[in-house]
A = this chain, B = another copy of it.
């Protein structure tokens, strides 16, 4: 039964594949085969048994609906899954069936299976992350001197550059990505502890088998089983949340810039079913939807952390759905924002026009500071108010000041001129941009 459409923006084809039944089953089979292999190498189970298990661990024997149904009475899909392998092995070699899953517990299988899916997902995200960083850097470089309105609390403010804006996005994505991929690395560990987390069934060979199993699966070994200690996965879950938040900020900015009345930037977007003229910000929608949803998914994951004793009840059982949704949300937003930024249309003309349309009023603070130096704050305030009134009546604020018999003499000619020259009031914008992009020397 396919379940893609209802939440079709929450993942990509590649990520849906990484967490699909096929991917999980492949991971679980990989675990059982590798386990038999290393146990045979360690002399714990007979070598031919490992070979038999290996031959029987093929994906096509599983009916995932039946597994899911059976899981409801056993509390985990691991039990019907292992049973199915045992049955198959028993047909080939009855004695070998005993040794399937030898010394492992259900959670070893499920956690490691999930981790192997995560490894696949991490690779997909890593590629898009590099793509996005490159596109952001390119944008930030191209528009180093593109002057635009800053906007604070959704109101116009003194200018900034689009280059700095893009560099700010770059900085946040870069930092959040570093956190994310280091969290993937920390979390992608083998789980292997047996029934009680002591590997008791393996006697004194436990640690050696665990280390060999990790190597066999290409995973790092943990210092100890982590059945009920989920902080590493939690760190991955939260890193997905933060990363998606950083992407959501980009999408919010672009969707606001793309408003018809602003029109400073636009993603290629999609078409509307009813409105042929309309370019829907579909990429931003995907990213904003992800950013809307991830905080709750993070909460869902964290809520399960206080797991009981050696293996918990309920908290653990709640995790996989939330974590895979988080990784897919992050990746879906990432793919969308990468596409958006790579093809972003930017209009420096419109940016300039929107600055002009403010009638220089965004420089009121600056005028105030310039006037206050010689006239004091109270007088400056008064003169600025007077010019603002003129502005409300339709006049350019700078012109109003220039015409003001008290204000004009208090301002130097270049000051007055600069009130109409946004590019001269950018402060450290360029240095901040270079710092964010780690361009040396700043």
Contact = CB atoms under 8 A, between A and B. Distances in A.
A195 interface: yes
Contacts of A136: none
A275 interface: yes
Given A5-B24, A179-B235, A428-B204, A303 B306 contact: no
A214 to B, nearest CB: 14
Interface in A390-442: 391, 397, 425-429, 431-433, 435-436, 442
Nearest to A71: B8
Interface residues of A, number: 202
Nearest to A248: B306
Contact of A154 (B104, B281, B321): B281
A172 B234 CA distance: 11
A261 B261 contact: yes
A106 interface: yes
B153 A75 contact: yes
Interface string A196-224: 11111111101100100000000000011
A198 B156 contact: no
Interface string A228-261: 1111101100110110011011011101101111
A50 interface: no
A241 B238 contact: yes
Interface string A349-370: 0000010011001101110110
B377 A86 contact: yes
Interface in A1-25: 1-10, 12-13, 16-17, 19-22, 24-25
Interface string A158-191: 1110001101100110011001000000000000
A106 B427 contact: no
A391 B277 CA distance: 10
A94 interface: yes
Contacts of A172: 229, 231
Contact of A200 (B175, B241, B378, B426): B426
Contact of A231 (B21, B82, B242, B251): B242
Contacts of A203: 427
A247 to B, nearest CB: 8
A41 interface: no
A195 B157 contact: yes
B277 A158 contact: no
A300 interface: yes
Interface in A46-86: 64-65, 67-69, 71-79, 82, 86
A179 to B, nearest CB: 6
Given A1-B4, A3-B21, A242-B234, A97 B274 contact: no
Interface in A292-310: 292-310
12 contacts: A2-B22, A3-B20, A5-B24, A79-B273, A152-B227, A153-B281, A153-B311, A155-B280, A198-B428, A201-B366, A252-B308, A292-B318
